[in-house]
């Protein structure tokens, strides 16, 4: 398939393309130095009674046709999650799309209750969206990853009838839930999906970052290390596992944003640990030669709650999670959310030399 843009890859190889979905000019295995936007948050929940009145999570942002398109996950007080869209001319000031939500639960099937975490790719025939999906009414992410297509970035979106990727079997590390973090299209036309997986989301769950590969973007296979032959790594293996006890990411590595460079792959990801019953989430950085074996940066976490002045007087449960990077000119924009308690979206910027 001829591709108009290779998600993330072309931000390095073809800076003049219209859609740039990553800070591809960061060619070294070191993190960028981000500074929080002084007027955070940039996007807030809707008014009472609207579809996104409760919280906004998981921003994924794309530069296309002179606009920034921010896709986000939101829900109302009934708990059903859907995907919305906001646009901006400058990457800082966003206006919600009048036709929101652009992707909603169907009421039956694998996405009956939840759709979330929209990851987009553009092709000659239009757009492809990958999203997390849930069939049952419960707290937390869903049990599968679905796919939808559209001729325009704003839709209308047509979902595939069946999911592309499911949770693992009982006893596996990703038996409870899965959802996409980012997708990298390689030079040979194949794809890599970095996804979040874990067990029971309602407990102090151990969550890892996994990898699935595909030759066509439709049929996916989870990465499986042949040297691990028993649960929880019998069927597949995470490529960025949670850290050891007492480390800053000892309970979760998740919502990973991955892009490739001439030297290999870079990753910005959410790391979480539990302190006195509360989760503490920050953003870390890792690099890899092959996209499978990763080295976490020794100075992690590289971006914390304390780095965003908006959170200075916010609820003690405030966190920073879900980094998503966009490169435009000599600036890297990093978008993130503040967790379910605060339920808003913020951002930071870094100069790319």
Domain boundaries, the chain: 10-351
pLDDT of residue 172: 96
pLDDT, tens only, 60-103: 999 999 999 999 999 998 888 999 999 999 999 999 999 999 99
Measure Cα distances from 153 to 86, 100, 121 in Å.
Answer: 12, 13, 10
Six-digit token string for 205 = 């769950």
Give backbone dihedrals phi and psi of 226, rounded to 5 degrees, phi first.
-65, -15
Six-digit token string for 114 = 């939840």
Whether pTM exceeds 0.85: yes
Q: Give the domain 10-351 fold.
A: Tachylectin-2; Chain A (2.115.10)
Look-up: residue for tokens 């997708």?
Answer: 183
Region 317-345 average pLDDT? 94
In three-state secondary structure terms, 39 is coil
pLDDT > 70: what percent of the chain? Answer: 91
Q: Tell me the C-alpha distance between 46 and 326, whole Å.
A: 25
pLDDT of residue 17: 32
Contact 73, 116 (CB under 8 A): yes
Residue 98 or 22, more confident: 98
Six-digit token string for 14 = 């073809």
Per-residue pLDDT band at 206 (split at 50, 70, 90): confident
Six-digit token string for 112 = 């009956």
The CA-based diameter of the chain, rounded to the nearest angstrom, is 52
Six-digit token string for 128 = 């492809």
Give backbone dihedrals phi and psi of 212, rounded to 5 degrees, phi first.
-130, 145
Measure Cα distances from 122 to 7, 105, 141, 210 in Å.
Answer: 8, 23, 25, 23
Q: Helix, strand, coil proportions of the chain in percent (round to 5)?
A: 5, 45, 50
Q: Tell me the C-alpha distance between 209 and 319, whole Å.
A: 19
């Amino acid at each position: 398939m001829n591709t108009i843009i290779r998600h993330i890859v072309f931000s390095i190889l073809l800076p003049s393309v219209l859609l740039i979905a990553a800070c591809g000019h960061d060619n070294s295995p070191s993190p960028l130095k981000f500074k929080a936007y002084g007027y955070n948050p940039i996007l807030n929940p809707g008014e009472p009674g609207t579809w996104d009145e409760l919280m906004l999570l998981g921003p994924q942002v794309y530069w296309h046709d002179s606009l920034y398109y921010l896709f986000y996950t939101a829900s109302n007080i009934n708990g059903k999650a859907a995907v919305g869209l906001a646009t901006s001319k400058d990457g800082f000031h966003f206006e919600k799309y009048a036709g929101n939500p652009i992707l909603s639960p169907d009421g039956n099937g694998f996405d009956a209750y939840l759709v979330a975490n929209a990851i987009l790719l553009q092709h000659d025939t239009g757009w492809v969206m990958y999203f997390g999906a849930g069939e049952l009414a419960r707290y937390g992410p869903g049990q599968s990853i679905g796919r939808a297509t559209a001729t325009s970035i704003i839709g209308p979106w047509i979902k595939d009838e069946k999911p592309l990727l499911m949770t693992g079997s009982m006893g596996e590390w990703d038996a409870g839930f899965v959802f996409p973090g980012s997708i990298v299209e390689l030079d040979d036309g194949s794809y890599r999906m970095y996804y979040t997986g874990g067990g029971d989301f309602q407990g102090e769950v151990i969550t890892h970052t996994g990898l699935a590969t595909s030759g066509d973007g439709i049929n996916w296979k989870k990465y499986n290390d042949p040297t691990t032959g028993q649960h929880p790594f019998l069927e597949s293996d995470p490529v960025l596992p949670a850290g050891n006890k007492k480390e800053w990411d000892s309970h979760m590595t998740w919502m990973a944003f991955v892009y490739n460079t001439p030297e290999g792959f870079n990753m910005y990801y959410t790391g979480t640990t539990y302190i006195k019953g509360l989760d503490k989430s920050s953003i870390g950085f890792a690099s890899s030669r092959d996209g499978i074996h990763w080295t976490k940066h020794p100075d992690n976490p590289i971006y914390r709650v304390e780095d965003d002045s908006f959170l200075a007087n916010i609820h003690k449960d405030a966190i920073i999670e879900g980094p998503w990077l966009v490169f435009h000119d000599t600036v890297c924009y990093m978008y993130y959310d503040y967790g379910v308690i605060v339920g808003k979206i913020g951002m930071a910027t870094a100069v790319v030399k």
